[in-house]
Chain A
């Protein structure tokens, strides 16, 4: 069953490659996404036994990320049918192959318990995404792709070095060398602390590059800004969570080894740095897709702070992984609609979205509120959980700083986005003739509804998964 989870997207990619018709090819995506979502739900309902000698296990953390990725991908897949109908002039073969490949790699990352395999999966997502960022085939997108490819490749190479250090820590400690999670956790206390800390640094740098923690985030605004909206949604909602999955795995080892201080301090530092960077660059940012990228940097930083400060903040952070990913989907998909209609993503070239694209405009506005943590959306709940966790643990200064940064970022985003949405359209603005359609509005709407629903009511099975994940990351122990 798990094998099917990974094989299905690969088959989908193959089918997309074999389909000669540019018009019918995108239909592969919703089929793959839909079956994948069904499979995921089935797997969540009934946990499969470990496979491949313990290399493949679906644990609660994996379940959480898998669920988020699967929902997001399904919505993006439906959206892609509508989106690609507008982009008939361009062959979509690469896009239709890359998306399922990326889904397969992300699924593999979710279920792999061997850190080497996890690394391979995460590196594969990086590679599969590169051609997709270049979908628009112009000078700006090639520049973004090059930066993305180079920086992420180096980052992920650092992560490999970190893994080698981890394995070497077992060699120095004269233990059975392994990168399987379960034995590593079992023997973590005996590992050489020096090598362990070295491993943490390099793994943090590696996965931190992947998720775009400042100061390793420099590729992010470019890639998010130039990639098509649905690719941006998957980058911000899917790949980021896979990177966090890697970070959580290290965190587990830290906890088991009993040397969390170092890793947590580093995470917290990078987290605050990211939020600070985002706050500075969000102000006066005229390109609304780059704005979303900085919003992603902000939330990545926020989650890093959550993990870094730990304890009471963990349950909220785990929940935020899920909610943030889904909200990012709404933002990027609707931003893509606006971009398509106005042929521009500069604030001065876009006005009066509410008039021209009422659905997208409203969704974008609501998503803006959701992403900045307003009730009744689930992001409010998760952010509130993190902050109250911080205050409960007596970390008032951290909590207040985070709130202040949130305020700055909200103001910065609102200052750019509200004039875009309201305002009065004029004849000086470009009009591509694109208007809202069911296929390009329903997916973000569905994602937003899910976020809203989760803000009001968390289903019991999901609650179980969340609690189990938080327990894996040291809550209640």
Chain B
């Protein structure tokens, strides 16, 4: 819990904006990977190094920084798309919405009854803002892969909040969460492939045959 971690979290905020503002899916995947790695490094930086924390860091960096991006990139290659052409909400408006959400996150975080040692740190606003960014991506993008990146960002937001608890949460649970995430993305990757085969597109706005 120190100011250095705070500066790293600023980077996380920036990455949120980058992913909101970029139309290239490749960039979005890379940004999510970098964000995951930054977050993975934080536990080892803010606490005294212990095998437990080191394990979390290595796992996070390995899974979020390399494994998941590799899976997603493979999916991108097989379905052969590069850009999110027509999102539901344009790139400039969504960045502005993201900015408003970030500002609200700061306001809201100030109202929360945090433990004294966590006051004035960026963890909680960063968690809320990243969570909101994930939601924004999920509702504004049409391509299945973009939605998966949105889900990953949402997970990152939750993980930032979990950083406040790294000493409290047993490593096994975090490992389980990480594994579930990995398998989830893997399954989603497979589904994306199937969607592109069935619909010759991974535009989820075309998934409309099941309606009331």
Contacts and interface: CB of A to CB of B under 8 A. Distances in A.
User: Is chain B a partner of chain A in the same complex?
Assistant: yes
Interface of A: 114, 116-117, 119-120, 123-124, 127, 130-131, 134, 137-140, 142-147, 149-150, 153-154, 157, 160-161, 164-165, 167-168, 170-172, 177-179, 192, 194-195, 221-222, 225-226, 281
Given A150-B147, A161-B158, A171-B164, A127 B138 contact: no
Given A120-B177, A139-B198, A140-B209, A171 B168 contact: yes
Nearest to A198: B112
Contacts of A164: 158, 161-162, 164-165
A167 B165 contact: yes
Contact of A138 (B115, B162, B180, B198): B198
A120 B191 contact: no
Contacts of A167: 165, 168-169
Interface string B152-181: 001100100110110111101100110110
Contact of B183 (A116, A127, A157, A177): A127
A154 B151 contact: yes
8 contacts: A116-B176, A117-B173, A119-B176, A130-B191, A134-B194, A146-B204, A150-B147, A281-B212
A149 B184 contact: yes
B144 interface: yes
B172 to A, nearest CB: 8
Given A116-B177, A137-B194, A140-B209, 8 more contacts: A123-B177, A127-B183, A127-B187, A143-B210, A146-B144, A160-B177, A172-B115, A177-B168
Contacts, number: 117
Nearest to A285: B212
Given A171-B165, A172-B115, A117 B191 contact: no
Contacts of A116: 169-170, 172-173, 176-177
B209 A139 contact: yes
A154 B154 contact: yes
Contacts of B168: 167, 170-171, 177-178
A416 to B, nearest CB: 14
Contacts of B154: 154, 157
A133 to B, nearest CB: 10
A119 B172 CA distance: 12
A174 B187 CA distance: 40
B176 A149 contact: no
A120 B112 CA distance: 28
B176 A117 contact: yes
Interface in B171-208: 172-173, 176-177, 179-180, 183-184, 187-188, 190-191, 194-195, 198-199, 204, 207
A140 B210 contact: yes
B114 A157 contact: no
Contacts of B158: 157, 160-161, 164
Contacts of A161: 131, 158, 161
Nearest to A153: B184
Contacts of B112: 194
Interface string B102-115: 00000000001111
A144 B210 contact: yes
Residue with the greatest number of chain A CB neighbours at <10 A, chosen from B204, B210, B212: B210
Nearest to B176: A120
A127 B147 CA distance: 17
Contacts of B198: 138-139, 142
Contacts of A123: 177, 180, 184
A298 to B, nearest CB: 15
A114 B191 contact: no
B191 A142 contact: yes
Contacts of A154: 138, 151, 154
Contacts of A157: 151, 154-155, 158
Nearest to B202: A146
Contact of A120 (B164, B169, B180, B207): B180
A142 B164 contact: no
A171 B204 contact: no
Contacts of A146: 144, 191, 195, 204, 207
B188 to A, nearest CB: 6
B191 A149 contact: yes
B197 to A, nearest CB: 9
Contacts of B176: 116-117, 119-120
A99 B177 CA distance: 21
A149 B188 contact: yes
Nearest to A222: B210
Nearest to B116: A172
A164 B212 CA distance: 37
Contacts of B170: 116
Contacts of B113: 172, 192, 194-195
B209 A143 contact: yes
Contacts of B212: 221, 281
A162 to B, nearest CB: 10
Nearest to A223: B210
Contact of A143 (B115, B138, B161, B207): B207
A164 B180 CA distance: 17
B65 to A, nearest CB: 19
A127 B173 contact: no
Nearest to A161: B158
A160 B172 CA distance: 14
A145 B169 contact: no
B147 A177 contact: no
A147 B191 contact: no
A470 to B, nearest CB: 30
A137 B102 CA distance: 41
Contacts of A194: 112-113
Contacts of A222: 210
B210 A226 contact: yes
Interface string B29-49: 000000000000000000000
A124 B151 CA distance: 17
B177 A171 contact: no
By Cβ-Cβ distance, the 6 closest A-B pairs, closest first, are A177-B168, A116-B173, A120-B176, A143-B207, A139-B198, A123-B180
B165 A145 contact: no
Given A149-B191, A171-B115, A177-B168, A139 B199 contact: yes
